[in-house]
Amino acid sequence: MIQGFICGPRLYEYEGWFFEDHAGSGPWPLKKDGELRKRAGKKFYDMYMRFSRLSKEQKAKYRVGGGCQSFGY
């Protein structure tokens, strides 16, 4: 059996924002269809500061996708 992983940024919905939190490039807001927004302004970063203060368990409640997924065949 061959097993592998595919990884992408974790996706969250918090305080009305849909965003990704990428380990390498940091957070960025997304449109409803998952496309990147052109800009991330003060309102977004203010929200992200509140989000970043949450515990790992609290953040998990707002996670809606992304991260690493295993596959094998």
CA 4 from chain center: how many Å? 21
Whether the CA torsion 56, 59, 60, 64 is positive or negative: it is: negative
Say what the pTM is: 0.86
User: Cβ distance 12 to 64 under 8 Å?
Assistant: yes
Residue 18, pLDDT score? 98
β pairing state of 3-14 and 17-22: antiparallel
What are the pLDDT digits (tens) for 11-53?
A: 999 999 999 999 889 999 999 999 999 999 999 999 999 999 9
